[in-house]
Structure 1
Amino acid sequence: MMVRKPSLIEMVVQASLCAFLLLLVLDYLEASKAAACCPPPAAQRCYPWSMTEAMEGGGYWNYVNKEIYLRSELVWGGILAFAILSPFAMRGIWTGLAAIAIILAAGFYGAEWMTRFLL
């Protein structure tokens, strides 16, 4: 398999995704130490796990509890890493950009399933 050097456009997209991946890693480290905000006298550094919005179906699926939130962060990190590395394996600029878009779109719709069933 031949590795291709990404174009400037692909590198800009990859750099943006790398910045987002770094934020996810930092959020994961912060969330792994944080407590829930549920009891009214909430801690200073808390996350909204198990809030009523998540339980009633109106909120986000990944805020149901701390374990699911941390798993979703790992899944999103894997999806982003896969998207960042995909242009190296593609033949051209447009296939590299299309691969990034497809991986992110499929990851967005499949993240809940992957979080609940794979990890």
Structure 2
Amino acid sequence: MENSEKVETCHTEDGTSCRKSHHPERVKKDLTTRLNRIEGQIRGIKGMIDKDVYCDDVITQISATQSALNSVAKILLEGHLKGCVVDRLSEGDVEVLDELLVTFQKLMKK
């Protein structure tokens, strides 16, 4: 995330807060392109199953799709660390570290 990206806190109609992150347009475009490609890979895997393609070939495609999703997660994590986490720490919000640990645990389960 660049310095111009800020996390905004908003409040929903029921009074709960939501957080937003603003990525530069080039990052959003890159992420969207990657996710569209992943969506196509998933459709391809479904087609392979329908066509009774050899199991090992399907597993290879699943592995490639998982790698692609991991790449998206890495981009988002980098932006989160350089933007959201740094901003919240500079504001004295150390709870972001606990949130970050939970995020790492979720990513490491995979």
Q: TM-score, normalised by structure 1?
A: 0.38
Give the TM-score taking structure 2 as reference length: 0.41
